[in-house]
Chains A and B, each alone.
Chain A
């Protein structure tokens, strides 16, 4: 069970001058952050996105309050970066639909790599969820995150996140049943 105390200890070590503590923090969270970014539609330059997240976090550690966990804070920063990126891309393109074809192609390529037919179906089901349902569902099923933590990072309430999760689960089950 991870209550975030390991991260707090690592941050203290880093503040004391131990750069290896920073490496350990990166090792603990980078993969999960990349996965979350990918699930919210980001597929290009994921490394940069995750790197930006860590750099921002370390540059503003003074503003980190221990009332949320360091992981929650990292995810919150990443989510904001993803939203910023989406916004600027939207402005640049002005035509969101234009990209749909590309997205579907990317999925087909991924599907070919996934031998597990059920997993492919489940991912298709996840893609049909609303953006918020998808965020909550993905954080629950890939990280086992508690509603409270998800609520903090998506800026919602525990109760709302719980509803989103159960609706999402219902939708995924129905999609699989219809197959």
Chain B
């Protein structure tokens, strides 16, 4: 025969206890109560069994992710704040790039280069989401570098020679456009952080 514990407030905490949804203090209170209350121990077991008993169908996460609308494109929206964020992201990306460039240059070197008049920087530029520095997306960027590309002393963490502020508006838009093009690609495997993404052959022209 299963009895109900007289402490209703305690019983209300049990599902949260099972699923780790309680604060540390609540969790401690419940744990202490379970030491002395067989009814609540039985109810915790019942909640665990009930949780197991409700079928958990598998869903195809990759397909769902692919069906989602693409993330908003800040640069195209022309929102000042959005653009500022993206410029900051670009600076972060360039800084990260200095430390985490993966030598995919040879690989990308085989891809068609868009215009001879736009020289590539000396090293591949790592484009990555700012919060995922471990997962750089490496692009041989067509952005023009206006000052000597390699400096032995890093200046304010920016490896773009003169830095992002030296880029013209057009060049900045090109860089942001590439970011957009890359990030607009839905990830087929949400669990995989290191999916190689090939830059679009006409990259810079998408910016506008």
Residues of chain A touching chain B, judged by Cβ–Cβ distance below 8 Å, are 1-2, 13-24, 26-27, 30-31, 33-35, 38-39, 43, 46-47, 50-51, 54-55, 58-59, 110, 114, 116, 118-120, 122-123, 126, 137-138, 140-147, 162, 166, 169-170, 172-173, 176-177
Q: Which of B1, B49, B60, B179 has most A Cβ within 10 Å?
A: B49
Residues of chain B touching chain A, judged by Cβ–Cβ distance below 8 Å, are 1-2, 4, 8, 11-12, 15-23, 43, 46-47, 49-61, 63-65, 67-74, 82, 85-86, 89, 129, 131-132, 179-180, 183-187, 190-191, 193
Given the complex, which residues of B lie within 8 Å of A140, measured CB to CB?
15, 47
B126 to chain A, nearest CB (A): 16
Q: Which of A14, A17, A21, A24 has most B Cβ within 10 Å?
A: A17
Q: Is the CB of A35 within 8 A of B131?
A: no
A141 (CB) vs chain B CBs: closest residue: B50
16 A–B contacts, CB within 8 A, in A order: A16-B71, A16-B74, A23-B61, A23-B65, A33-B59, A34-B59, A47-B59, A50-B59, A116-B52, A123-B53, A123-B54, A141-B47, A147-B12, A169-B43, A173-B4, A176-B2
Interface residues of A: mostly helix, strand, loop or mixed? helix
Q: Is the CB of A54 within 8 A of B67?
A: yes
A13 to chain B, nearest CB (A): 7
- A141 to B187 Cα, complex, angstroms: 33
Given the complex, which residues of B lie within 8 Å of A51, measured CB to CB?
63-64, 67
Q: Is the CB of B20 within 8 A of A144?
A: yes
Q: Is the CB of B51 within 8 A of A141?
A: yes
B54 to chain A, nearest CB (A): 5
- A38 to B184 Cα, complex, angstroms: 32
Q: Is the CB of A39 within 8 A of B191?
A: no
- A90 to B103 Cα, complex, angstroms: 60
Given the complex, which residues of B lie within 8 Å of A23, measured CB to CB?
61, 65, 186-187, 190
Query: Would A119 and B53 be within 8 Å (CB), given that A17-B86, A144-B21 are in contact?
Result: yes
- A58 to B70 Cα, complex, angstroms: 9
Q: Is the CB of B54 within 8 A of A126?
A: yes
Given the complex, which residues of B lie within 8 Å of A16, measured CB to CB?
71-72, 74, 82, 85-86, 89
